[in-house]
Each structure stands twice: as C-alpha cells, then as structure tokens.
DNA sequence: ACAAAAGTGTTCTGGTTACACCCATGG
DNA sequence: CCATGGGTGTAACCAGAACACTTTTGT
C-alpha cells in the first residue's frame, strides 16, 4: 500500500482484525504502532473490488504475520457514524502518519467488518509493520496501549465473542503448538475466561470431548512431575467445531 | 426512494433484514415481491452517510411494517464477490423493476449487513411494499417463493442464528402477544427449532428461567381444558437476555 | 361419557462441583 | 526429603430426558 489506488478499492468498507495469541500465560493481541505518534491500531485494511471480505482479511493477516493458514472468523460489523472522525484524520495527516493525498479516502464514512483470528504465538517469527505503522507487536490484552478510534471497543467485542465461543466450540488447535499438556490447555482457557478452573474437572471435561490424543511422551526439563503431552485429533476437532459442544434444546 | 439520491448514500454498503413472525404455528418471514417479475426480496436498503447502520435497519423496517420498536440484531455480513451479478441487474432494468438510471448504483459491488428482527405478527396490520416492489407479504419459512441473489442464503443463516440464540436467550417477548399460554410459547420454540419438545420438561425449563408471570386468567373459548395465560416479566426478561441462560465454563 | 389438551409429579441418568489422595521431579 | 505441580478417584448434587397420572373443557 505504498501507493493507494483507490479505484481498485470498495468505498466505505474496511476490515479490522483482532489477532489473538497465547504466550507466557497471557492473552496477546497483535497491534500496529502508527508512525510518529503514540497511537496503536488493529491490523486490517480495505477491500479490493474483486476480493471476498474473508479473503481480504486473510491477506491482511498474511502481510503482518507471514502465515497463510490462519483461523479467522467474522464476529461483528461496526457501522456507527461516530467512527468517522475528521479531526482524527487531519491529525494523521499533520503527524505525517498518512500522506495528505490519502486524506479524502481515509475521511470517508467507513463501515468496518471485524474479524478475530487465533494464531500460534511462536509461529509468528517477526510481525511486519505496514505502510502507516513503524512497529507490529504483541500486546497483552490486560495492558493495552492507546488505540485509535474505536479499536479498543472492537477488541473488547472480539474478546467477549471468544469467551462465548468457548461454550460452543473447542479451542486450542490454533493457539497452541502441536503438542501441549493438559495444564497448558487449561491455562489457555483460564486466560481467555479470566478466571481459575478446577484442574481435575477441567481435565475430565476436555477429555470427554474426545478430541485429544495422548502421545505417551512427557514434557521434560520442567520442574516437578513431567506432564504428558497431547495432540488434537484434527478430524474429531473439526467435527466438534462444526457440531458444537453444548446441548441446548 | 421514488428518487435515488446516491450522493447521500454510503457506497458499497447495503442492509438486508430477515423479519420473523409467528402465526398459526408457522414461522413467517416478511418478503417483498418485485415488480413485473416472479422474484422476491428481503426488505432492506442502503445506508445514508450520516446514519448508523442499526438506525438504518430500524428505518427500513418501519417503512415496511409501520412499527418503530422492533427487536433487531445484526447477525452476519455478506461480502462475497459473487453477490454482485451484472446480468441480474440488467434483468432488473429490462423488466422495469428499477429505472435504467439506477443501474450504475445497483451494479456496484455490495457488502450487505444482515439483521434479523422479531415482531409480533398481529401488530403488522398491512405490510407496505417499497418503490421496487408491488407487494409485501408474510411467507412461511418452509415454503419460500424464489428469492433474488443470495437472499435465501441470508435467510437460512438468520434462521440458524435464531436457533442458536434460543440456547443463550429467552425468546418470545417480541414474537408473541402480551399474554400467551405456555403451550403457545412451546409451539413457538418448536416451530423455530423444527422439532417437537416434551410438554412437561419444556414447562419446567421455561419456568425455571424466572421470566414468566402467571395472570391466573385462562384462555377461554378454545376446546378442551382452558390454559392459563402468562406474561413476561420484562425486567427479568431483559436481565436474562443480557446475562444469558446457559452455564458453560 | 369421552376425546383432547392442560397441569403436576417421579424416576433415571449423566454431567458438574467439590473434594482427598497418590505420584514424580527438581531443588 | 519435601515443596510443587501432575495424575486419578469419588461422593453429593443438579439439570435434562423419559414417562404416568389427574384435571378440565367442548362436543
């Protein structure tokens, strides 16, 4: 986007991606730091006229993470008129975050389609900043820098959605390395939910989903008793994802 | 929209509303029949530049139903490039569904934000057709006429969403008259879910939600034992709606 | 009186909660 | 050898599923 060929883009429509990762028992989000100013933004972008919005979201994330097989899900579309803030856009020009020529495009009324993504933290070697940013970093959800416009709100809604999804779907395949221990999986759940769970009940419940395969190998080198390593059985995992976990009516 | 002042509209963005009603034990949807052609469409429209998308959806429905206090919820945004179909739009011009001047606007690449609405069937006295339609009618979800573009898909996704929402939220306040019997509420649930439920278990479950108030009056005039009339306790209903019903983690 | 639908209760089962206990490992 | 965390078991409890019986109404 060193150049902005607005003829190729769908007017009024933007996408924003909330990319979740998990590292050192913290839920992280991938954020871009804008140039010349202490303000951060969600990765995202505009929608080319001939490209599906889902594809465009994938492309945006591939540019930032280098990964091309990211779990992505649309969760909400943000269409308040207050998202459009001329003063904010003028400021972006003043601070040379965006060139002046881009002002008219940026100053449109935008509707933004929110996606959330789940990625394995360690697979993102070096997050890549975009044309209007000077850094791309993982930030802890509990300790966010100042975010532009309504991006903090978008992030919150994504997090809420993720919490709810835990009741309907298994989670972990996209956030954990191939092999992991049950306590690590539990820590992921606890981190997303923001509360402690009972060890024994957690184990029983996730085992009952029938999506975990024990590899009879153990994580070595750590203190205390070496925990068993598990993998997801991908076929069952996908099936559980489609069918859903909860009972209901 | 007898006139289409495109300067006032947000390009590329449309909204489509799936309006559910309940009548004679059938789940109904409000549909518009296009002029001069046997093709139906969801109510919806375009988004004015200075109007929130939620407000715009409300306005669209007020125009069709005359109601201004409709329960509305965004459920998905449809952004496939295949939604844009030039042949289809040419056909609309040929058949004089839309005037030729409108063709360029209609033939844009559109992203459509889907909303579903729940309304009390009997409160919609006479559904009102719009500028490109000659009729506005309730159609049974199980017996749909031919729908334009991807509108059947949108409708299906809305119905799927509604089914899932039944597990998290109480439903009925917006679909039933003020007073109703438990069997009527059950019939609503059965209709949405498309399956039979056990009378006794259903009653116990909905009563446990603590959102129903018994009026000690009975529905008279019907055959067999006169059932008791209930009302929703709105405060509890709203609380249940926000807090959610299922337990989960 | 009888058919049909409303209203109430009971059992059985499976999942959730809240625990106690033993095992392995690094320090 | 002991503190710490991993792994397993179990009793109490509650919600959902399946089902039988009584009550009330119109015909």
pLDDT tens, residue by residue, A29-82: 999 999 999 999 999 999 999 999 999 999 999 999 999 999 999 999 999 999
Domains and CATH numbers, chain A: 6-167 (3.90.79.10), 169-243 (1.10.10.10)
Determine if strand C comes within 7 Å of the CB of A218. Answer: yes
Determine if strand D comes within 7 Å of the CB of A205. Answer: no
Quote the pLDDT of residue A83: 95
Determine if strand C comes within 7 Å of the CB of A224. Answer: yes
Q: Does B13 touch chain A (CB under 8 A)?
A: yes
How far A210 CA lies from chain B's nearest CA (Å)? 18
The Cα A70–Cα A53 span in angstroms is: 15
How far A125 CA lies from chain B's nearest CA (Å)? 31
How do the pLDDT tens digits run along chain B, 249 residues long?
458 999 999 999 999 999 999 999 999 999 999 999 999 999 999 999 999 999 999 999 999 999 999 999 999 999 999 999 999 999 999 999 999 999 999 999 999 999 999 999 999 999 999 999 999 999 999 999 999 999 999 999 999 999 999 999 999 999 999 999 999 999 999 999 999 999 999 999 999 999 999 999 999 888 899 999 999 999 999 999 998 887 678
Q: Do B53 and A12 touch (CB under 8 A)?
A: no
- Give CA angle at A41 (A96, A59), nearest 5°: 100
Q: What is the dihedral of CA A28, A30, A36, A38, to 10 degrees?
A: -30
Quote the pLDDT of residue A3: 79
Determine if strand D comes within 7 Å of the CB of B207. Answer: no
Q: Which two tokens stand for residue A14?
A: 């933007």
In whole angstroms, how large is the CA radius of gyration of chain B? 20
Q: How sure is the predictor about A189, in pLDDT bands with cuts at 50, 70 and 90? A: very high
The Cα B213–Cα A248 span in angstroms is: 23
Q: Residue A77: phi, psi to the nearest 5?
A: -115, 130
| Tally of CB atoms within 10 A around A191 | 20
Query: Could you read off the pLDDT of A25-35 as tens digits, one per residue?
Result: 999 999 999 99
Name the nucleotide with the smallest C1'–CA separation from B249: C16
Q: In the 167-196 stretch of chain A, whose C-beta falls under 7 Å of nucleic acid strand D? A: 181-183
């Amino acid at each position: 986007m060193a150049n902005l060929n607005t003829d190729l883009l769908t007017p009024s429509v933007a996408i924003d991606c909330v990319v979740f990762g998990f590292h050192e028992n913290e839920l992280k989000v991938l954020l871009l730091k804008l140039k010349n100013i202490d303000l951060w933004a969600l990765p995202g972008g505009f929608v080319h006229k001939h490209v599906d919005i889902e594809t465009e979201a994938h492309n945006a994330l591939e540019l930032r993470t280098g990964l091309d097989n990211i779990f992505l899900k649309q969760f909400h579309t943000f269409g308040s008129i207050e998202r459009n803030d001329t003063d904010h856009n003028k400021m972006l020009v003043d601070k040379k975050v965006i060139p002046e020529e881009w002002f008219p495009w940026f100053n449109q009324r935008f509707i933004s389609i929110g996606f959330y993504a789940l990625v394995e933290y360690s697979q993102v070697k070096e997050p890549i900043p975009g044309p209007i940013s000077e850094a791309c970093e993982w930030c802890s959800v509990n300790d966010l820098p100042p975010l532009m416009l309504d991006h903090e709100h978008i992030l919150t809604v994504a997090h809420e959605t993720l919490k709810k999804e835990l009741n309907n779907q298994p989670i972990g395949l996209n956030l954990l390395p191939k092999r992991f221990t049950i306590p690590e999986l539990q820590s992921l759940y606890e981190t997303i939910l923001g509360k402690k769970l009972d060890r024994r009940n957690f184990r029983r419940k996730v085992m009952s989903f029938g999506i975990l395969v024990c590899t009879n190998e153990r994580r070595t080198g750590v203190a205390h008793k070496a925990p068993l390593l598990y993998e997801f059985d991908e076929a069952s995992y996908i099936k559980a994802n489609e069918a859903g976990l909860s009972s209901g009516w």
